[in-house]
């Protein structure tokens, strides 16, 4: 049983790399996925008796590769001979770390191709690189399993039929595609950091995978400040993860136990933010990282330099004039100019379907002593979120007003 | 290499100068498209291309029954119909999309890129 769990853990850790190298080698996502699951079955059969091999990733890659070749030979695909010929020439040894990471990145750029619908890009990334099952992805996005299954199947079919290339684009295409890739990784992280479903409030397999992929991206594109910015943002956010849920309740930033924050991640995040400042090409993620740097710089919640936070949000607004940015800016304004000014800003925003908008209104109304309105706003916020830790927090706050 | 159909869609009802607005605009588009075609041939992507007569010249034939049934006009009632197309052979979708962008610029229309399932 112990080995069974170990197999699953190794498999989960290795999944993205395994799939990416199989897709590179066989040029077909379906073949890669089936070979990977056959390798898992083989590992579950063998490892409990023989023990986990010294290089489990290499074992899985070799086994899956052999299974894929078997399958291609077995099935009388139209182009069997062509594929088999290719396979005989492919004497690629099990990859060492460097090029393998490149495989994952290539697959990430394939998943984020602008010819695919944005929602399909995220789903496919979660499936192929995060190793999430279709039901898990469906739950995370609150859509029926069949819908998500169709979305993923359709995207995979388009990649294969339309011959979407497996490569990291060069030159002119890179900035446009990079921004799509960064958006997807940011969303994957956010989904993990405040899961939308009613399962685990925080999903470390998602936050971890997002950080891992941004690190790979950063290794390949060291001169892109937005990549550094996103990595800084994710690290500074993830550093607070342990303090963010207490007794099953979400703890807002000002009330968090700062001693529980991960100092190593914070130090690394601050270094990245300083690096971005030196490059001086501000972008969305760099500014968000800088905002998080201000928070993590302050020894206590009372010491946060709110004027600096508001100034950074002003800068962000010039780049991204979205209601979500305006909502976050209003939260900082509340600390600087008081809840009344902030509430006037918040009330103007078209975010009635967004749980954070209701939660922010509720908090501001509570501070203004408008108890009945605050209670109603907490109810609206509760209706709009399924995350258990967030619900527990909102319910506790609402109960204080009863 | 993959074969792609690049189709241009336009209004079902054609005005005097198609959807170009004026004679000059139409001539400019034709010239640009002709130059684009030459480039496509020179670069080795060209398979086949053609503009189509208005959809009102179409006839639908249903030969599934005992005797074929002919119907005047296009198969679908729609505001937009295919006006012309290219068939290209490109190494991958990225190349096809680049060619489609140039095609769209030349012919002054939106271009749909769709891979072939097979060619006889």
Question: 10 Å Cβ neighbour count for A326?
Answer: 20
Query: How far apart (Å, rounded) are the C-alpha atoms in residues A135 and B49?
Result: 45
Residue matched to tokens 């979500």:
A324
Mention every residue, 6+ apart, whose C-beta is less than 8 A from residue A271: none
Whether residue A101 is predicted with pLDDT greater than 60 in this model: the reply is: no
- The first and second tokens of residue A373, run together, are 């309105």
A113 with B93: Cβ contact below 8 A: yes
Residue B15's SS3 state is strand
- Which residues does A contribute to its contact with B (CB < 8 Å)? 113, 115, 161-165, 169, 173
Residue matched to tokens 């990733």:
A57
- Give A104-114 pLDDT, tens digit per residue: 888 989 999 98
- CA geometry: angle A22, A90, A213, nearest 5 deg: 30
Ramachandran class of B18: left when φ > 0, alpha when ψ lies in -120 to 50, beta otherwise = left
Whether residue A221 is predicted with pLDDT greater than 60 in this model: the reply is: yes
Q: Which residues of A touch B99 (CB under 8 A)?
A: none
What distances in angstroms separate CA A123 from CA A120, A138, B15, B94, one per listed residue?
5, 9, 44, 21
- Give B3-37 pLDDT, tens digit per residue: 999 999 887 776 777 678 888 988 999 999 999 99
Residue A78: the pLDDT is 55
pLDDT band (50, 70, 90) for residue A1: very low
A211 compared with A90, residue with greater pLDDT: A211
Put simply, the chain B residues between 61 and 120 with a CB less than 8 A from any chain A CB are 91-94, 96-97, 113-115, 117
Complex prediction ipTM: 0.84
Q: Which of A227, A186, A228, A179 has its CA nearest to residue A207? A: A186
Residue matched to tokens 């909102």:
A394
- Give A336-353 pLDDT, tens digit per residue: 999 999 999 999 999 988
Residue A169: the pLDDT is 80
Residue A36 phi, psi (nearest 5): -65, -45
Q: Which residues of A touch B94 (CB under 8 A)?
A: 164-165, 169, 173
- The first and second tokens of residue B1, run together, are 């290499």
Query: How far apart (Å, rounded) are the C-alpha atoms in residues B6 and B113?
Result: 5
Residue A249's SS3 state is strand
CB distance A351 to A324 below 8 Å: yes
Residue A27: the pLDDT is 87
Ramachandran class of A179: left when φ > 0, alpha when ψ lies in -120 to 50, beta otherwise = alpha
Residue A88: the pLDDT is 52
What distances in angstroms separate CA A248 from CA A222, A243, A393, one per listed residue?
39, 11, 8
Average pLDDT along chain A? 88
Angstroms from A163 CA to nearest CA on chain B: 5
Q: Which residues of B touch A115 (CB under 8 A)?
A: 93, 97
CB distance A181 to A217 below 8 Å: yes
CB distance B18 to B10 below 8 Å: yes
Mean pLDDT of A317-325: 94
Residue A361: the pLDDT is 97
H or E stretch at A79: none
Q: Which of A317, A324, A321 has its CA nearest to residue A355? A: A324
- Give A260-304 pLDDT, tens digit per residue: 999 999 999 999 999 999 999 999 999 999 999 999 999 999 999
Query: How far apart (Å, rounded) are the C-alpha atoms in residues B57 and B34?
Result: 24
Angstroms from A114 CA to nearest CA on chain B: 10
Segments in chain B forming alpha helices (H): 23-42, 93-107
């Amino acid at each position: 049983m112990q080995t069974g769990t170990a197999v699953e853990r190794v498999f989960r850790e290795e999944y993205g790399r395994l799939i990416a190298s199989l897709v590179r080698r066989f040029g077909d996502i379906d073949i890669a996925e089936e070979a990977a699951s056959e390798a898992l079955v083989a590992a579950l059969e063998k490892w409990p008796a023989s023990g986990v091999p010294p290089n489990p990733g290499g074992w899985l890659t070799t086994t899956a590769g052999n299974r894929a070749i078997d399958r291609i030979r077995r099935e009388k695909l139209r182009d069997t001979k062509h594929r088999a010929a290719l396979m005989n020439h492919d004497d690629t040894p099990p990859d060492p770390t460097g090029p393998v990471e490149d495989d994952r990145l290539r697959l990430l750029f394939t998943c984020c191709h602008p010819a695919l619908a944005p929602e399909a890009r995220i789903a496919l990334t979660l499936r192929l690189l995060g190793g999430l099952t279709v039901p898990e992805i469906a739950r995370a996005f609150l859509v029926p399993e069949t819908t998500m299954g169709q979305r993923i199947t359709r995207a995979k079919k388009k990649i294969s039929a339309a011959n979407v290339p497996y490569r990291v684009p060069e030159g002119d295409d890179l900035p446009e595609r990079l921004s799509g890739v960064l958006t997807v990784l940011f969303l994957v992280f956010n989904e993990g950091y405040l899961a939308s479903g009613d399962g685990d409030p925080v999903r470390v397999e998602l936050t971890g995978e997002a950080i891992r992929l941004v690190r790979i991206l950063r290794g390949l594109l060291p001169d892109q400040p937005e990549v550094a910015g996103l990595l800084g943002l994710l690290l500074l956010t993830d550093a607070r993860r342990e303090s963010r849920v207490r007794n099953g309740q979400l703890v807002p930033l000002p009330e968090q136990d700062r001693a529980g924050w991960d100092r190593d991640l914070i130090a690394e995040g601050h270094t990245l933010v300083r690096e971005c400042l030196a490059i001086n090409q501000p972008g969305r993620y760099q500014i968000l990282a800088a905002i998080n740097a201000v928070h993590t710089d302050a020894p206590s919640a009372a010491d946060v330099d709110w004027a600096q936070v508001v100034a950074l949000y002003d800068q962000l607004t010039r780049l991204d004039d979205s209601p979500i940015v305006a909502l976050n800016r209003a939260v900082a304004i509340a600390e600087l100019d008081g809840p009344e000014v902030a509430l006037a800003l918040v009330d103007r925003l078209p975010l009635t379907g967004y749980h954070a908008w209701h939660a922010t209104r509720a908090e501001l109304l509570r501070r203004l002593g408008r108890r009945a309105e605050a209670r109603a706003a907490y109810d609206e916020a509760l209706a709009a979120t399924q995350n258990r830790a967030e619900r527990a927090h909102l319910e506790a706050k609402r109960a204080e007003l009863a | 290499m993959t074969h792609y159909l690049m189709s241009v869609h336009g209004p079902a009802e054609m005005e005097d100068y198609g959807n170009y607005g004026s004679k000059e605009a139409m001539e400019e588009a034709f010239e640009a498209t002709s130059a684009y075609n030459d480039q496509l041939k020179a670069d080795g992507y060209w398979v086949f291309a053609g503009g189509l007569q208005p959809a009102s010249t179409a006839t639908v034939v249903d030969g599934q029954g005992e005797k074929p049934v002919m119907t005047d006009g296009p198969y679908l009632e729609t505001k937009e119909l295919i006006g012309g197309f290219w068939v290209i052979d490109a190494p991958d979708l990225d190349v096809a999309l680049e060619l489609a962008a140039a095609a769209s610029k030349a012919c002054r229309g939106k271009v749909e890129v769709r891979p072939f399932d097979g060619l006889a």
